[in-house]
Amino acid sequence: MRDPDGLIARAGIRGDPDRDQHFLVDDRVLDRLPTYLEEIDADTSHVLEIGGGTGALTDRLLAVGDEVTVVERDPDLAAFLREEFADEIAAGDLTVIEGDALAVDLPDFTASVSNLPYGVSSEIAFRLFPEGKPLVLMFQQEFAERMVAESGTSEYGRLSVSSQHYADIELVESIPKEAFSPPPAVQSAVIRAVPREPDYEVDDEDFFLRFVKALFTQRRKTIRNAIRNTAHISGLAEPETVVDTADDDVLQKRAGAMAPAEFAALAQLAWEVGEPDDD
């Protein structure tokens, strides 16, 4: 395997915290990341990596994936990856896409292992989740803890409900700052997301996620008041009708105590009687 420090030296580039560049340089962590896919027998015929950097993780993914596509927004790093991995590209094993992962067309991948740029990690995650593929993603520790949190805990919120709507998510490893060059200001963590259908049904997924977002903006209020106060976010034309129709036990709760299935049932009711807009 290529040495992470050697890759940085050959690239002639330093990570730039101001540009959200923190290169993972700990060999042990790099070696472990692909194993989180292997543990669940994930299809690794086409592995997607977001944020290739200098290619230390790319190198490990090439060892387990039949085909790897890496998306890198930094033109200098993308050029270095094409040079460093010229043989793998020529053999058809690696494709380098230069561009913003939120804007480029993503390939038809089977799984993703990525050390995401933290500044846009949420946006990228929610571009990947709907694809319904196994994901091994690195985030800031606090973000990862919120993603896997259960109802009734202080970390539980919109992120928890929205993430768990798409997949079973577990925090598989915490990563110290020292594993990166330069070290970030906070500790990191790796989550594994295994896609599955939720144990509830909603007629309109976009409305469900918007409704959850709305209620968590008023997490200190009762659900009754949160529905009334957030119609401009949820798009409900008739929030009072939802309040008049919903079960009183639910209306007395607060968002942090609502399990995802309870949110789904309430969102379904709101969709049916609250006359939401189509946006």
How far lies 45's CA from each of 32, 48, 63, 201, in Å? Answer: 18, 10, 11, 31
Question: What's the CA gap between 247 and 262, in Å, rounded?
Answer: 11
Superfamily of domain 4-195: Vaccinia Virus protein VP39 (3.40.50.150)
> Facing residues of 192 across strands?
136, 170
Q: Is 26 annotated as a binding-site member? A: no
**Backbone angles phi and psi of 113, in degrees to 5:** -125, 120
* 26-55: pLDDT as tens digits: 999 999 999 999 999 999 999 999 999 999
Residue spans of alpha helices (H) in the chain? 4-11, 27-32, 35-38, 56-64, 75-84, 86-90, 121-128, 141-148, 158-166, 205-216, 223-229, 231-234, 239-245, 248-251, 260-273
- pLDDT for residue 86 is more than 80: yes
Question: What's the CA gap between 253 and 257, in Å, rounded?
Answer: 7
Q: What does pTM read for this prediction?
A: 0.94
Q: Is 24 annotated as a binding-site member? A: yes
- pLDDT for residue 18 is more than 80: no
Question: What's the CA gap between 224 and 247, in Å, rounded?
Answer: 10
Q: Is 100 annotated as a binding-site member? A: yes
CATH number of 205-273: 1.10.8
Q: Is 22 annotated as a binding-site member? A: yes
Question: What's the CA gap between 10 and 19, in Å, rounded?
Answer: 20
Which amino acid type is present at position 78?
A
Q: Is 115 annotated as a binding-site member? A: yes
* 139-194: pLDDT as tens digits: 999 999 999 999 999 999 999 999 999 999 999 999 999 999 999 999 999 999 99
Domain boundaries, the chain: 4-195, 205-273
